[in-house]
Amino acid sequence: MKAAVVVFPGSNRERDVALALKRASYTTPAYVWHGDTELPAGTDLVVLPGGFSYGDYLRCGAMASLSPIMRAVKDHAARGGHVIGICNGFQILAETGLVPGVLMRNASLRFVCRDVHLKVETTDSAFTGSYLPGQVIRVPVAHAEGNYFADDETLKRLEGEGRVAFRYCTEAGEIAPEASPNGAIRNIAGVLNEKRNVLGMMPHPENMTETVVGGTDGALLFDSLAKALA
């Protein structure tokens, strides 16, 4: 799997995600500067990492969505290439329209940094194929604008097409509003696009990939990708 990690001014998880990808695929990802206009030839997977692109000015992800590289990322996705946006990367995907919905300020109006539980709602994607259906995993969140919202029509389509990838839940797997760190509608933590080749998610699987940092539940996402895009 050939992966490219896009670096924006203010990204901060690019090395974490590169390490997680390298561990899963035994291949070192390329870093691509946001001002570049082309992806490395043969790129299978584009990663938009977490962070504070452009200092979160205007709205998280709004300015980064207009970076020169995003045209190449859109073309890659249109050709069926895979794209994952994590946290700030999800915000950038939502701003570009590559995934539906918006990320609003957390309901608490506070930055929330803690572990959460997620229910894997679909294993029918290159990102989630190595999980068990309905598996409850623990990964961290660290964001101020992760409050997912979409209109009723969009939600109906997302649910009907099995495109909600992850939902915040309790440790026992209950989809309870109090299990959500940000007030996201229907506890949605991650969504797929229509062709299922683009995933946006707020939590950070790349920060839960080794026991020494608290667990390995996030590693399966990168294993899924390494297998699907081998």
Ligand X SMILES: NC(=O)CC[C@H](N)C(=O)O
What residues act catalytically? 87, 204, 206
Q: Which of 191/196 has CB closer to ligand X?
A: 191
**63 is a contact residue toward ligand X (CB under 6 A):** no
- Per CB under 6 A, the list member of 7, 87, 189, 192 interacting with ligand X is 87
Q: Which of 91/122 has CB closer to ligand X?
A: 91
Site for ligand X in 136-175 (CB under 6 A): 142-146
Q: Which of 9/129 has CB closer to ligand X?
A: 9
Q: Which residues pair with 141 in a beta bridge?
A: 114
**223 is a contact residue toward ligand X (CB under 6 A):** no
Q: How many whole angstroms separate alpha carbon 126 and alpha carbon 133? A: 14
Q: Which of 60/116 has CB closer to ligand X?
A: 60
Main-chain phi, psi angles of 104, to 5 degrees? -100, 175
Amino acid identity for residue 135 in this structure: Q
Residues 88, 60 contacting (CB under 8 angstroms): yes
Q: Quote the least distance from Cβ 104 to ligand X, whole Å.
A: 10
**119 is a contact residue toward ligand X (CB under 6 A):** no
Q: How many whole angstroms separate alpha carbon 134 and alpha carbon 148? A: 21
**181 is a contact residue toward ligand X (CB under 6 A):** no
Residues 6 or more apart whose CB falls under 8 angstroms from that of 104 comprise 145, 147, 148, 149
Residues 51, 88 contacting (CB under 8 angstroms): yes
Interaction site with ligand X (CB under 6 A) = 50-52, 56, 60, 87-88, 142-146
